[in-house]
Chain A
């Protein structure tokens, strides 16, 4: 059954879109991430114009992070104070990101920006996750190896404006979470992702937050950042396709349910390694598109009104 997407201005098969949403939802339920980093490139691959894919991806991430954050909030795994600091940064970052996006869209370089961001971030983070989980796996096989220290003092602890974060059991400078928020916010706007896959490692390794609070807090923050991105993209670029977002949502909600069930049966290291591998593969796929000779070196920009 074909459905016409009014903003993407194309017709697509409803069941293909539901399956796409379902597959991404399955992975997001499995790994506890928003799944935007998979959704946006898949939509572009599907033929959705990249500007629409990024903006609609953001809209869809709002929904999936609300349902995720709710579940974590019930278990008391959201550090609202930390979330608000990240959010402050996220609001600044996403606003800056959308204006960079709008400017580059005018210059005709937005596809390059999106693709390059994907390659750099997905490549680096995927590789880091794979290496880290391989190490964890090796350590678990060799118990005599020295364990990591529980609390490491880094440059982050030397910054001013210190604040107490009770739920995270931390006393650190507010500058650190705000900066992480800004960075993730810029990326969210440019890539149409929640930025969970950047914030989660940053919160664990840079801020030293306990893993149990990290995902809930990042999802809480993502809701607001992606809502901001959705609004700004809709307002300045008119690229949010509400029909497309709704269809993807329905698929994602169902997929996430299955993903969560499967996720509880797997070990944490296995999950991290698998997620890292998927992130890395998506990054490599996008890199290939940048490097491989395109079938036609000429392209036409969307036709403008006279």
Chain B
């Protein structure tokens, strides 16, 4: 796998077209397939730039609504008491840059393109209180980092010869399914020169996807099958017991 990625990378770098456009980029795979043995994945993001500049890479999962809950002690017991609901937060997020992100571009630009975890925009759902906004925002980032869905910081884009760049992005086993966007940005003196977006699909394949879809689309039949499996297993076990 590693060797193949490297081969693709080298072949890509050797292409003369790479020298023409200001930014050309690709990823080692356009799809992450969640199979029975899936335990996470790692992708190589690579490309070449023309002229000097800073590179930032963002991998963004599908947008989801999210609820952050806060526990407090009620009568000696920890209970969920407060919550905030947000709309449109990426279910997965990774950012990497060739220099510390804050030095690449002004804050407004980073906010606009949501480059860097601190620049992900949090939109409260209608009717949600904006009290303790930062506390809840940080709690979301911290918990997502704990789940491996956010990184809790930025990765490093390594640049070779001021022209070729590469970075690796890891996806944990609990990676959400859906359509991802891999965005690569070229900045020069704080100005955005160009950007490239490549789609990335994360999906369950084979049995896993069939089971999941079946459980949601044919919930009643799925429930009955689960019961039949258990009954047959129990019956078989009973028969084996008797003989033993």
- A contact residues vs B (CB 8 Å cutoff): 1-4, 6-7, 9-11, 59-60, 62-67, 70-71, 74, 108-109, 111-112, 116, 223, 227, 230-236, 238, 240, 242-243, 245-246, 249-250, 253, 256-257, 260, 290-294, 296-301, 303-306
Q: Is there an interface contact between A301 and B66, defined as CB atoms closer than 8 Å?
A: yes
Q: Is there an interface contact between A306 and B235, defined as CB atoms closer than 8 Å?
A: no
The contact of B69 among A108, A291, A292, by CB within 8 Å, is A108
Q: Does B225 count as interface, using CB distance less than 8 angstroms?
A: yes
Q: Does B204 count as interface, using CB distance less than 8 angstroms?
A: yes
A sample of 19 inter-chain contacts (CB < 8 A) reads A4-B34, A4-B36, A4-B37, A11-B40, A64-B234, A67-B237, A70-B234, A70-B238, A109-B80, A112-B80, A238-B219, A242-B211, A245-B229, A245-B230, A296-B139, A296-B146, A300-B68, A300-B144, A303-B91
Q: Does B2 count as interface, using CB distance less than 8 angstroms?
A: no
Nearest CB of B to A246, in Å: 7
Other A-B pairs beyond A2-B38, A290-B78, 5, CB < 8 Å: A2-B173, A253-B237, A298-B135, A298-B142, A300-B147
Q: Is there an interface contact between B219 and A298, defined as CB atoms closer than 8 Å?
A: no
* C-alpha spacing A290/B80, complex, angstroms: 11
Q: Is there an interface contact between A298 and B70, defined as CB atoms closer than 8 Å?
A: yes
Nearest CB of B to A260, in Å: 7
- Mostly, the A contact residues are helix
Q: Which of B88, B211, B241 has the largest count of A CB atoms less than 10 A from its CB?
A: B241
Nearest CB of B to A264, in Å: 13
Q: Is there an interface contact between A108 and B80, defined as CB atoms closer than 8 Å?
A: yes
Nearest CB of B to A304, in Å: 5
Q: Does B223 count as interface, using CB distance less than 8 angstroms?
A: yes
Q: In the complex, what residues of A have CB within 8 A of residue B224's CB? A: 231
Which residues of chain B in 85-111 are interfacial with respect to chain A, using CB atoms and an 8 Å cutoff? 87-89, 91
Q: Is there an interface contact between B66 and A234, defined as CB atoms closer than 8 Å?
A: no
Q: In the complex, what residues of A have CB within 8 A of residue B80's CB? A: 108-109, 111-112, 299
Q: Is there an interface contact between B67 and A108, defined as CB atoms closer than 8 Å?
A: yes
Among residues of A, the one whose C-beta sits closest to the C-beta of B222 is A234
